[in-house]
Amino acid sequence: MAKPSRFAEFIHSLSGKIVALTLLPVVLFLVLLGGYVVPRIRGAILDGRRTAIRQMVDLVMTVATRFDQDVAAGRMTRETAQEKVKEMVSAMRYDQTNYFLIQGPGGVMVMHPLRPDFNGKSPEALGTTKLAAAFEKAAEDPAGGYVEYEFAKPGQTGTFPKTGFVRRFAPWGWVIATSLYVDDVAVEMRAVSFALVGISLLVSLLVGYVAVRSARRITRPLAQLVTGLQQGDLSRRIEVSSQDEIAQAAEAFNEYNGRMKTIVQEVDHFAERVASGSMELAASSVEMATTVSNIAQVSEALKEAGEGVSKAMDQVAGNVDAMAERTQATGTQAGQAVREAAQGAEAGKSAATGMSEIQDVTSSIVKAVQVIQDIARQTNLLSLNAAIEAAKAGAQGKGFAVVAEEVRKLAERSRTSALEIEELIQKAQETVGAGVSGVQATLRNLEAISTRITTIATSIQEVGGLSEKQAAVTRDVTRMMGHTNDRLAQNAASTHELSATVDEISHTAEELAKVSHGLKKVVSNFNL
C-alpha cells in the first residue's frame, strides 16, 4: 500500500481540519461573493444606467411636453414645435457619446442625430424591423419600457450589447428612445471581480497563515501527548503556556501521567513482591511435599507395626486363655489331691506330679507375661513415636495423637498388670517349690500337704482370675490397635490428599511467577 503524501496526511490531521474549518468561512464568502455579490453589483450598475437613461428620456419628454403646451396655447404650430424638438434632441448628448432618437408611427425614423439619411425611412428600408417592433412593444406601457438588443459600434466590427429605454409621446405619436452600450459593464465587472478576488486571496492567505500558526499552537501539545502515549513515557510533561481548553487538556495529561507513573510503580513493586512470594511459596511447597512424603512413610510403618502388634496381641490372648484353662484344670487337680491325700502315698505321688506340671505351667505363664511386658513397652514406644509424628503433621494429626495417647495408656496399664501377674506367678513358683518340698513331706505328713495344696489351689484360682483379666486387657489392646490401624489408614489417605494439595500449591506458585513475569514485562514498556 502506497504511503499517503504529506499533503494528504496534513488534510487528514487535526491541523488540516483546523485550517480547513478556518478557511471554510472564507471559501463560503468567496462563493457568496462570486455567486451573489458580484451579480448584484453588476445588477446595481445596470440598474443605475437604466435609471439614468430613463431620466434622460423623461427629460426629452418634458421638453416635448413644453412645446406641445405651446402648440396647445397657439403660440406655434405643431410642425414648428416638432422641428424645434427634433433640433434640440438631436443636439442633446450624455456621457459625451450617447444620444436620443425619435421613431414615428409604423416605426418610421423621425430623427437620428448621427445618421440624418435614416430620417423618414421605414424599418424595412433600414433593416431594423425587429428593433422597431421591440420599441413599439415596449412603448405600449405609458410609463415606458426597456429594450435589450445587440447593435454595431462605429468603427468596430461585430455587434455589442445595448440597453435602451423608450417612451411614447402620445400627443404626437412619437416613440422617444435612447440606449447605451453595456459591454463596458462586463469590463468593469471583471476589474471589480479581479479586485475582489485579489482582496479575498490576500485575506485567505492571511487567515490561512493565522490558522496554521494557531493549529500548530494547538496540535503541538497534542503531538507531544500522542508521542508520550505511544512511547509509554510516563516522565513526559507537556508545557502549559495558555489558559485555553488545550492547556486544560495538557494539564489533565500531566496529572494523568503522574497518576499512571505512581500506579505503574506500585504495580512493579507488587510484581516484585508476588515474584518473591511465589518463590517462597514454591520452596515451601517443596519442603511440605518432602514432609508429607515422610509422614506417609511413617504412617505406613506405623500401620505395619500396628498390624504386627495386633497379631502379637492375638497370640498373647490365646496364650492367656490357654493359661486360664490350665489354671482351672490345675485347681481341679488340687482339689482332687486334697480329697485323695488321705488315700495314701499314691495320691502324694500324683500330687507331686501335678505340682511339677504346675511349675511348668507357671514357667510358661512367666514367659507369656514377659512377652506381654515386651509388647507393652513396644506399644508405649510406638505410641510415643506416633504422638511425635502426629505433632509434626499439625492439624491433620490431631486425631491420630489422641489415639496414640490412648494406646500409650493401655500399654502402661498392660505393663502394670503384667508386673503384678509376674509377681503373683513368682509367688506361685515359690509356692510350687514349697509344694514340691511339701509333697516329699506329704509322704510323711499327708495332712500338712493337704493344707498346703488347698493354699496352692486358692492361689491358682487367683492366677486364673488375673489371667482372665489379662485376656480382657489384651483383647482391648487388640481392639484399640485395630482402631489405630484404621486411623493410620485414614491418615495415609489424608496424606495423599495433602500431597495433591501441595502439588496444587506448587502449580499456583508457578502461575504466580508467570503473572509476576508478565507484570514486569508490561511495566518495562513504560519509561518511569
pLDDT digits (tens, 9 = 90+) for 77-106: 999 999 999 999 999 999 888 999 999 999
pLDDT digits (tens, 9 = 90+) for 497-523: 777 776 787 787 788 778 777 777 766
Distance set, CA 227 to CA 93, 231, 236, 314 (Å): 77, 6, 9, 88
Rounded CA gap, 307 and 468, in Å?
Answer: 24
- Give the whole-angstrom CA distance, residue 130 versus residue 142: 21
pLDDT over threshold 90, residue 238: no
pLDDT tens profile 41-90: 877 888 889 999 999 999 999 999 999 999 999 999 999 999 999 999 99
pTM comes to: 0.38
Percent of the chain surpassing pLDDT 70: 75
CA distances from 95 to 42, 56, 102, 128, 147 (A): 19, 11, 19, 25, 19
Output helix, strand, coil percentages for the chain, rounded to the nearest 5: 80, 5, 10
Task: Tell me what pLDDT residue 3 has.
Answer: 61
DSSP H or E segment with residue 147: strand 145-152
Segment 440-493, tens digit of pLDDT? 776 676 676 667 667 766 766 776 676 677 667 667 767 776 777 677 677 667
Q: 94 — alpha (psi -120 to 50), left (phi > 0) or beta? A: beta
Spatial strand order of the sheet with 174-181 comes to 109-111, 100-103, 174-181, 159-169, 145-152
CATH topology of domain 6-204: Beta-Lactamase (3.30.450)
Among 383, 379, 360, which Cα is nearest to 371's?
A: 379
* Residues 456, 474: Cα–Cα separation, whole Å: 26
Does the domain formed by 286-524 have CATH 1.10.1060?
no
Write the DSSP symbol of residue 4: P
The pLDDT, as a whole number, for residue 528 is 66
Check residue 525 and report its DSSP letter.
Answer: T
pLDDT at 331 over 80: no
CB contact set of 479 (below 8 Å; sequence gap of 6+)? none
CB 258 within 8 A of CB 479: no
Q: What is the pLDDT of residues 455-468, one digit of tens each?
A: 766 766 776 676 67
Q: What is the pLDDT of residue 464?
A: 67
The C-alpha atoms of residue 159 and residue 154 are separated, in whole angstroms, by 10
- Placement of cell 468593469 in the chain: 188
* pLDDT bucket at 336, cuts 50 / 70 / 90: confident
Helical H segments across 341-397, by residue range: 345-393
Domains 6-204 and 286-524 share a fold: no
- Mean pLDDT for the chain overall: 78
- Other beta carbons within 10 Å of 3: 7
C-alpha cell at 478: 487388640
Q: Distances from the Cα of 144 to the Cαs of 44, 55, 137, 279, in angstroms?
A: 20, 11, 10, 110
Show me where the domains of the chain are located: 6-204, 286-524
Q: What one-character-per-residue DSSP string does 410-443 give?
A: HHHHHHHHHHHHHHHHHHHHHHHHHHHHHHHHHT
Indicate the pLDDT class of residue 313, thresholds 50, 70 and 90.
low
